[in-house]
Amino acid sequence: MNTKNRILNTLLIKQEASVNELADEIGVNGISIRHHLKNFEKNGWVISREERQGQVGRPKFIYSLSSLGMEQFPSSYVEFSAIMVDQLKKVLGEDKLSAFFKEVGLVFAERNRLDRRQRNSPKRLSHVAENLNEQGYIIEKKEVDGKPAFINYHCPYHYISTSNPAICCLDQTMLEELTESSVEITQTIAQGNPCCIFMIKEDDGPNA
């Protein structure tokens, strides 16, 4: 097994670990571990938190797998999820399936709700993106044609959305709740685009 997979497996088993702990466990020097972790963070596979011990000395970073990182392990859940959604569509119909995904979006929004300080901040949209990225999304706030938008580079439902685009209502509803604004989807990964674009329609001008 190569170093990359050994790091991922160790994080799966231990749930979280520092660079030194991973180096000791795997038997590879810290430089190699840091190199892989840097790539993992870039891909959205791991998240890190800072841990300080006392008032002096440099803080150390503790790494754990993101939801996207968990997807790197072989699993049949992708096929299972697609079959489940297909069956829900047959039982509920298109309209009720869309309503179902909107309800799930509301649940997701509640789990990622901004605190009062973030909601009142002029950088509210940036806070939304930061919070979602901590959950394993790869999303950023940008200006598109002079208007605020979220660009999502990883769709966790792309294997479902190709045949069931109604699932896109989930993220749309979640973002509407989190931004307290109307959201329009202008393109999706399911349509063959490199990213999903969610345009934010604010009444009082764009936030940073």
pTM for this prediction: 0.61
The pLDDT assigned to 13 comes to 85
The pLDDT assigned to 163 comes to 84
What percent of the chain lies above the pLDDT cut of 90? 53
The pLDDT assigned to 206 comes to 42
Residues paired with 60 in a beta bridge: 51
If you average pLDDT over each of 99-108, 114-123, 126-135, 187-196, which comes out highest?
Answer: 99-108
Residue 115 reports pLDDT greater than 90? no
Mean pLDDT (the chain, rounded):
87
Give me the mean pLDDT over the 160-187 stretch: 92
Residue 18 reports pLDDT greater than 80? yes
Residue 77 reports pLDDT greater than 70? no
Enclosing H/E stretch for 176: helix 168-179
- The two structure tokens encoding residue 109: 């929004």
What Å distances lie between residue 112 and 63, 106, 107, 115, 187, CA to CA? 21, 10, 9, 9, 23
Give me the mean pLDDT over the 28-53 stretch: 91
- Taking only the tens place, the pLDDT of each residue in 140-163 is 999 999 999 999 987 778 778 888
Residue 207 reports pLDDT greater than 80? no
| Residue 21, phi-psi category: left (phi > 0), alpha (psi -120 to 50), beta (remainder) | alpha
